[in-house]
Structure formats: structure tokens, C-alpha cells
Chains A and B, each alone.
Chain A
């Protein structure tokens, strides 16, 4: 089944404790992206990747890191999480990042709480 998977689905952590949220897609997509969803703000892009070893900042990159060493994986790293990073996180992928009508496929989401 074609899908985007994320782990963990739920995570409660404390301020300053490094964490990684994994994202993997099995559709051979070039483009991958991370979003955070907050009430009343919709989804905002954190980072994206056009292909392996090509990543760039989105609209809200502060406090996050990403890497794209393999085509299928795009982990999101919080080196020192803070309470304002409490949110619902989505990973998404699409065939290419250069086509305007590409559908993005979303993972099930990771609900992160930072105490």
C-alpha cells in the first residue's frame, strides 16, 4: 500500500530533551515536507526537501533540523524542544516539487507535547 508513515504518533517529552520524529514514504517521491498544525493557523511548512541531500527552510524553521540521506526517509529533529513546539506535525510527499498540480500525500500525524 502506498503510504507515508510517521513515528511516533504521540510523544510527551520535557524541555531540552532531543527528539527525532521519523517519516518514511514508499512511493519513490522526490519531494518531502514537514508541516506543523496549530489551532486557527492551519498547516505551516517547517522544512522541505526537493531530493536526496537537498533541503531548505519553510516558513517556520526555527528550532528544527532535517536531513535527507535516503529518498524514502525525511526525519525531523528537535535538538532542544521547547513548549512552543507543542503541536501536531505532519510529513508529506509528492512526486516532484516543481509541478504546481502535484498532490501531496500526508502521513497520519505526530502529536507532540513538550512540558
Chain B
């Protein structure tokens, strides 16, 4: 079974600083990876996804993630944090089930705090 691990349940950065949220995956086959964001009192929204077309994936709101097979990582970055980036971020992997359906396996989430 596939899994994802997010290091750090909370990350705090100053406004304008680099954002780095870590995600490592465990997969015996090429993984299909996603980052979702959850703003307060809202559902999850797709930030970006990796599906093997390119190792550097650009998403919405200035976020990007780099797939590194040698490190089994898919870390999320943003060069300059904005107050509106404060949210919870989830890394997820698409897992193939017995009935040929794909489901998302989520990491435990990282809450990003942005200090003024």
C-alpha cells in the first residue's frame, strides 16, 4: 500500500520568507502525487499534481513542487509567503484499489502560519 509522510505538523514563516512544506512518499510503482490546501472552514482545494510529465510542477497561487525519485520526495515551495497562504496543506498519493479504482491517500497535514 502506498503512503505519504508530511514532516512537521506546524510550520511558521514570516511574511515574504520562503515556504517549504515537506512530503515523502512510499510507493513501489510510479506515484501520482497531489498537494491540496484547506483554508479555514473550507473544503480542500487542489494546488497542484504530479503525473510524470515534468518533475517540477507549478500550481496555483505561486506554489510549486519538485518530484525527486531518488529522495522519494515531493516538497511544496513558494518563494515568498503571503498572509493569505495561512492554511493547512495536505500531500496525497493516488492509490490503485482491487476494483481498479483510484483513491487518495492523505498525509497528516501541515498547518502553515504566516507571521506579519
Contacts and interface: CB of A to CB of B under 8 A. Distances in A.
Same complex: yes
Interface of A: 4, 31, 33, 35, 40-45, 48, 50, 56, 58, 90, 92, 97-104, 106-109
Contact of B45 (A31, A106, A109): A106
A4 B49 CA distance: 20
B51 A42 contact: no
Interface string B5-47: 0000100000000000000000000001010100001111110
A20 B52 CA distance: 40
Contacts, number: 64
Given A90-B43, A101-B94, A109-B42, A41 B103 contact: no
Given A42-B107, A98-B100, A102-B102, 17 more contacts: A4-B43, A31-B101, A33-B103, A40-B9, A42-B109, A44-B106, A45-B103, A50-B99, A90-B44, A97-B102, A100-B96, A103-B34, A104-B44, A106-B44, A108-B41, A108-B43, A109-B41
Nearest to B34: A103
A104 B108 contact: no
Interface in B41-78: 41-46, 49, 51
Nearest to B96: A100
Given A58-B103, A103-B49, A109 B43 contact: yes
A101 B101 CA distance: 11
A100 B29 CA distance: 12
List the 8 closest A-B pairs by CB distance, nearest first.
Answer: A106-B43, A42-B106, A97-B101, A106-B44, A43-B106, A101-B51, A42-B108, A100-B32
B87 interface: no
Nearest to B104: A104
Contacts of A35: 106
A97 B100 CA distance: 8
Given A42-B90, A43-B90, A103-B46, A56 B99 contact: yes
